[in-house]
Structure 1
């Protein structure tokens, strides 16, 4: 899967599942502030990422995720590590 496909898939499910306006999703935007997620939303995010990419994000992964670009990078790294 290409980086572009990973980004598109993540953006699509953020819009669909979390009802986020696609205009707020940009690589350098602060993810937490843009999405306004609570702890249950993060659990849903982990499940959706796992079902779409076959990778599991853990709590320690989120320590370094501040922007959407950070999320893309973590998912891409984990995806290619298992591919």
Structure 2
């Protein structure tokens, strides 16, 4: 899971699996909160699931700025492709 398309496809699977969102409702432009009805508790569940999948620690601060599916893809892409410290 390195490129943005792969990340997007995995994220869609997770959103469908965790929150029973219709796959057709999910696009890169979809707003997690207003369009997909994700609340703050759902967001925590999403972060935990993404951490399991990626094996990377996702900072809550990074996720506070996230609004759209594309924001999540960008955040994960940056995290997965960051040089190891």
Please, what TM-score do these two structures have when normalized by structure 1?
0.85
1:40 counterpart residue number: 41
Q: Residues 25-50 of structure 1, C-alpha deviation per residue, up to 9 Å, x if partnerless?
A: 11112121122122221111111100
Q: How does 1:10-49 map to 2 (within 5 A)?
A: 10-49=11-50
Q: Residues 12-35 of structure 1, C-alpha deviation per residue, up to 9 Å, x if partnerless?
A: 110111101112111112121122
1:55 counterpart residue number: 56
- Asked if structure 2 preserves the Cα contact closer than 8 Å seen for 1:55 and 1:75, the reply is no
Query: Which structure features the higher share of helix residues?
Result: 1
Tell me the C-alpha RMSD between the 2 structures: 1.6
1:74 counterpart residue number: 75
Query: Which stretches in structure 1 are left out of the alignment for 5+ residues?
Result: none
Is the partner of 1:51 in helix, strand or coil?
helix
Query: Which stretches in structure 2 are left out of the alignment for 5+ residues?
Result: none
Count matched residues.
Answer: 83
